[in-house]
Amino acid sequence: MASDRKHTGRWAALLVAALAIAASLKYGQRARQNVIDNDLLVRTPLFTYKGAVNDETPLVRQFLGIPFAEPPTRSLRFRPPVTKRTPLTGEPTVVDATQYGAYCYQHDNGEPSFFRSQPGHGLPENVKQSEDCLTLDVWTRRSPNSTANTKAAVLIWIHGGALMTGDSSTPYQRGNRLVANHEDVVVVSVNYRVNIFGFPRAGALDGRHLNPGFLDVRLAVEWIHHNIGAFGGDPARMVLFGNSAGGTQVDKYAYAWAHDPLVTGYICMSGQGEFSADPADVSNFTYVAERVGCAGFVTDDKKDYDGEMECMQAVDADKIIAVLNNYDSRTPENGGRVLNFQPQTDNETSFGNYTDLQVRGLYAPKLPQVIGNVANEMVSLYHPWTGEQPDQEVLDLLSGLFVCPAAKAAKARQEFGSPVWRFRYFGDFPNMNPEPWLHAYHGSEVPMVFGTTDTYAPNTPEQDALSLYMQSAWVAFAKDPVNGLLELGWPHYIENQDTLVRLGYENALDINLVQGDTYDELCPYVMSHMGDVVKRAMPP
C-alpha cells in the first residue's frame, strides 16, 4: 500500500469482533420463545397498526404499507399530498400492516438495463402497481417484555430510480437485517410519486407546488416524527439517507426545509440536489393530455390549463402511464424529443441557484451530512445496456455527473464550517457483480448498508465484515450525527487533506484515507460543460 494511505485496522478488527458477537442473534437464528406477541399491535393517536414478525429475522417486527397520506387520485392527482384523515365513524381503526403497499406507477419503456437484469434491484412480482401508493414501511426490534426501555435512532430511507421508478419493497433495500444486526436502530422506508405523477410539469400548477413527489417525502417525515415513538423510535434522532435519486431528494430536503428539518442529519449516496429544470416547460404534460382524450384545452389560441388539469385528473392512470411507456423518441414523428418528467424550479422544494445557497449556508447548515460515491458510478447506468464493457474513459467522464456535484457540495460545506464527511466505495464481490468489469457500480453499496447482499448467493467473509462495518457506520451517524463517525475514525472532510474515506478499497475492511479531491480531476471540465455531458449520458 502507498505510504500516504492511513489505516485504522486495529479498531476496525475490534469492531467487527464485537459485531460478530452481536450478530449471534442475527437473522439465521430463531427468536427466543419468551418474546410475546402483543408488540405486534402499535397504537398511535389515530390508528392502530397490526404488524408481523419478519420470517427471516424473528427478532424484528415489520409494519408494511402504512398509509401516511390520502390516495393521490382524482382531484388530488398531480397535487401536494394530503395527510391521512381522522378515521370516520364506523371505519376500522386497526390497519393491517403485514404486506407491502402498492408501488407507485413506474415509467417502464421496456429497454434493456442492468438493473432490470438483477432481481435484487427490481420490484417483486407479488406487489401491485397503484396510485394509492403513499405508504411507508417500518422495521423495529422486538422487545422481550414488549416495552422498550429506550428509544432507538431512526434511519429514514429514500429509494432511487431516477425519479421515474422505484419502491420500498425492492429485495436489496429491505430494512429487517439492518435492524436485526443492531439493537438500537429503527429503519423506515418511504414511497413517493415518480415520473408524471410526482413531477407533472403542468401549466395549471402555475409555478407553485411543482414537485408533489418531493412533498410526499416531507409529509412522510412529518408522519414519522409524530408517530415513530410508538414503534420504538426516537423522533429527536432521525436521519435521512438515500441513494441516487433518493440521495438527490435527501440533499434537496436540506435546502427546502432548512429552518424546520425535523431530522438531525443527512446521508447522500450517489446523489446531490444540484440540478433543476426550466419551470416554464409544460409541453410534455400537454403532449400526454392530448393522447388520453384531453386535447383542445391548450392550443395556439387558448391556454386553458385548469381545464386540461381537470380532464387529466379524470383519466384512468393506466392510460397516462401507457403514453410514457410506449413513447419512442427515435420515431420520425418525435424526432429525438425526450418525454420525461423531472423536478422543476419552484424555490420551494427545488431551487434555481444551489451555488448561491451553498455559499450563504441556506441549507440547514448546522446539521451534519455524509456525501459519498462509488468508484464506477456510470457503468450500470450506461445506455444502451448491452452487457458488454463500455469504454472506461467515457464512463469516467460520465461518472462526473455524480462525483463532481458531490465534490462541490462537500467543499462548500467545508468552507462554510458545516460538519461534513465524504466517502468513496470500492467493494467488488462475486455475488453482486455478474461482470468483472463492473467493479463498484452505481447502487452496489446499497445492499451492503442493508446487509442484503447474500439474498441470492453467499457472501465472502470479507464482504460480511465490510457490510457489518458499513452498517455500524450508518447507525453510529444516526445515533449521534455530530460525533458518531469521528469516534469511528472518520475525519471531517477537508479537500486538500487526507480526509476522503475509502470503503472496501481492495475489498479490505480497513478504512483508507486519501486526499479529499483525489478523484475530482475531471470536475473542472464536467462542471463547465455540464449540458454536453448530460446529453451524452441521456438515452436517445
Q: Is the pLDDT of residue 314 over 50?
A: yes
Percent of the chain having pLDDT more than 70? 89
C-beta separation of 345 from 242 below 8 A: no
Helices and strands, counts by H and E, the chain: 15, 15
Q: Where are the domains of the chain?
A: 6-277+347-537
pLDDT digits (tens, 9 = 90+) for 32-61: 333 445 789 999 988 999 999 999 999 999
Higher pLDDT: 453 or 333? It is 453
DSSP letter for 346, please: -
Q: What is the 3-state secondary structure (H, E, C) of 478-491?
A: HHCCCCHHHHCCCC
DSSP letter for 304, please: -
pLDDT digits (tens, 9 = 90+) for 415-468: 999 999 999 999 999 999 999 999 999 999 999 999 999 999 999 999 999 999
Residue 276's pLDDT is 59
Cα dihedral sign, 410-411-415-416: negative
Q: Is the pLDDT of residue 6 over 60?
A: no
Task: List alpha helices for 153-211, DSSP H.
Answer: 176-180, 195-198
C-beta separation of 347 from 210 below 8 A: no
Residue 25's pLDDT is 42
pLDDT digits (tens, 9 = 90+) for 373-402: 999 999 999 988 889 999 999 999 999 999
Q: Which CATH class is domain 6-277+347-537?
A: alpha beta
Provide the grid cell at 304.
386553458
Q: Is the pLDDT of residue 413 over 60?
A: yes
- Residue 369's closest CA among 427, 414, 401? 414
Whole-model pTM above 0.95? Answer: no
Sequence-distant (≥ 6) Cβ neighbours of residue 245 within 8 angstroms:
159, 160, 161, 162, 163, 166, 271
Please provide residue 19's backbone torsions phi and psi, each rounded to the nearest 5 degrees: -65, -35
Lowest-pLDDT choice from 190-199, 248-257, 266-275, 449-458? 266-275
Q: Is the pLDDT of residue 526 over 70?
A: yes
- Reported as a pLDDT band with limits 50, 70 and 90, residue 91 is low
Residue 363's pLDDT is 84
C-beta separation of 51 from 61 below 8 A: yes
> What is the pLDDT of the chain when averaged over all its residues?
90
